Structure 1
Amino acid sequence: MKSLIKITCTAFILTSLMAACSEETTQPKKSKEISEEKEKNILLYEEFAKGGSYRATVENAKYKIVDKMGNITTRVTINNVRNDEKTIDLSEIKYFVKDEKTGKKYEGQPMPIHEDKFKNVPVGYALTFEISFTMKNPPKDLNNMYLYMDSKIDPLDTYWKLDNLVSK
Structure 2
Amino acid sequence: MATDFSKPENNPFTYIRDKHEKHAAFVIHRNKNANVVVYALRLKEEGAIVEEDALNVYWVMFEKAGHPKENLNMIERNTGYGATCTKREGTEGEYEIVVTSIKDTRIILKLEDGKAVARGTFNGVDDCTLERVFVSSKSVMGLPKVQYVEFFGTAPDGSPFTERKTA
Q: Same fold (TM over 0.5)?
A: no
TM-score by length of 2: 0.27
The TM-score with structure 1 as length reference comes to 0.26
Q: Which has the larger radius of gyration?
A: 1
The structure where strand makes up a greater share of residues is 2
Q: Which has the bigger relative contact order, CA under 8 A and spacing at least 6?
A: 1
Which is richer in helix? 1
